[in-house]
Homo-oligomer: A and B are copies of this chain.
Amino acid sequence: MLIGEVVGTVVSTQKDEKLVGLKFQIVREVDDHNRPTGAYVVAIDAVGAGHGDRVLFATGSSARQTVLTEGRPADAVIMAIIDSWDVQGDPIYSRQAPVER
C-alpha cells in the first residue's frame, strides 16, 4: 500500500455497469514524510474518506478484495483512513493535528 491525500472527485455517468454506485476519489501519493511525490491515482472509496484525509490505498487485484469492489473492474481502492504514522520514532502525521508542510 501507499499513503495518499484525497484531493478530488471524478464524476462519470457513462461507465461499465459494474461500477454504478461507486465513488471515484483522486488521491495524491505522498512519501513517508507526507510530501507529495507527484503521482496520483483514481481509487474507489471503501471507507468513506473525505478531502484532506491521508489514506492507505491498494492497487492491482488486491483492490478487488473489499466487499465493495469484489468482481469489479477497479484497480485501486482506499481501504483505510490513517490516524497517524511515525518514522524512526518521530511522529510524521496525526489526523487531529496535521503536520504542516
Contacts and interface: CB of A to CB of B under 8 A. Distances in A.
Q: Oligomeric state, in number of copies?
A: 5
Nearest to A73: B65
A66 B26 contact: no
A14 interface: yes
Contacts of A19: 79-80
Given A15-B80, A24-B56, A74 B1 contact: yes
Contacts of A86: 8-9
B83 A13 contact: yes
The interface size bin for chain A is: 35 or more
A65 B72 contact: yes
Contact of A85 (B17, B26, B59, B66): B26
B81 A16 contact: no
Interface of A: 1-3, 7-19, 24, 26, 28, 31-32, 40-43, 46-48, 51, 56, 58-67, 69, 71-77, 79-89, 92
